[in-house]
């Protein structure tokens, strides 16, 4: 089955996500208008400026289109994308989509000049962890989360990668460092199988 993953191209670092998808053999398409959602099988909301992104979603009338798309298809958000997927954010200028049951604080890891590459512990399941070094740029902090949210990576005791149903939110930028595991787990042909196995691995 050939799939095409959309990358939201309103603002921010969308180009590296296209390159990452190409690297792992998945077609990509730039999403800019509502009709673009008919052409894709998944969506990436890239990093950027969340206040600007929030405004542009309404300007281009994409908010409802994303909410409808999320009912049936996988969506991944990185950094500002995670902020937009959240339920609540500590900045009234940002109107989040409410896809993930998380509460987020903007720029919690410092301003852009304090951007850094940090070690992230990613839990494949209860028994196996892997270490990844990825980039935090004005990264958001997940302050709280609901019962249906699975934590798959932490940094300094705070979640930085969360999974819920068909949704993945990352506080960091794997695309900058060439880390493809998250793109693969969300968008390859075995994604439904992965969702099932992930929930089994984390079941109490």
Any catalytic annotation for residue 175? yes
Cα–Cα dist 182/30, whole Å: 19
Sign of the dihedral through C-alpha 15, 5, 86, 157: negative
Q: Which of 118, 127, 131, 175 is catalytic?
A: 175
Going from the C-alpha of 48 to that of each of 45, 78, 82, 83, 106, the distances in angstroms are: 9, 9, 11, 10, 12
Which residues fall within 8 angstroms of residue 60, CB to CB, at 6 or more apart?
10, 32, 33, 34
Among this protein's residues, is 173 annotated catalytic? yes
Q: Could you give the CA distance from residue 3 to residue 191 in angstroms, rounded to a whole number?
A: 12
d(CA 92, CA 193): 38
Active-site residue (options: 9, 68, 127, 173):
173
Whole-angstrom distance, CA of residue 14 vs CA of residue 83: 16
CA atoms within 13 A on the CB side of 74: 23
Residue in 17, 18, 79, 183 annotated catalytic: 79
> Catalytic residue positions?
79, 173, 175
């Amino acid at each position: 089955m050939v799939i095409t993953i959309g990358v939201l191209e309103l603002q921010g670092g969308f180009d590296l996500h296209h390159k990452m998808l190409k690297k792992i053999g998945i077609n990509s398409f730039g999403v800019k208008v509502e009709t673009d959602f008919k052409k894709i099988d998944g969506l990436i909301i890239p990093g950027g400026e969340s206040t600007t992104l929030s405004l542009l979603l309404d300007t281009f009338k994409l908010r409802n289109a994303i909410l409808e798309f999320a009912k049936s298809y996988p969506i991944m958000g990185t950094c500002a994308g995670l902020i937009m997927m959240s339920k609540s954010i500590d900045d009234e200028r940002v109107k989040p989509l409410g896809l993930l049951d998380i509460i987020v604080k903007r720029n919690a890891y410092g301003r852009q000049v304090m951007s850094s590459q940090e070690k992230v512990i990613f839990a494949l399941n209860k028994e196996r962890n892997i270490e990844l070094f990825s980039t935090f740029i004005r990264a958001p902090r997940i302050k709280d989360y609901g019962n249906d949210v699975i934590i798959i990576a932490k940094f300094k005791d705070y979640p930085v990668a969360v999974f819920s149903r068909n949704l993945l939110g990352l506080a960091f930028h794997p695309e900058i460092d060439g880390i493809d595991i998250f793109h693969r787990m969300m968008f390859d042909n075995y994604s439904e199988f992965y969702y099932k196995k992930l929930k089994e691995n984390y079941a109490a």
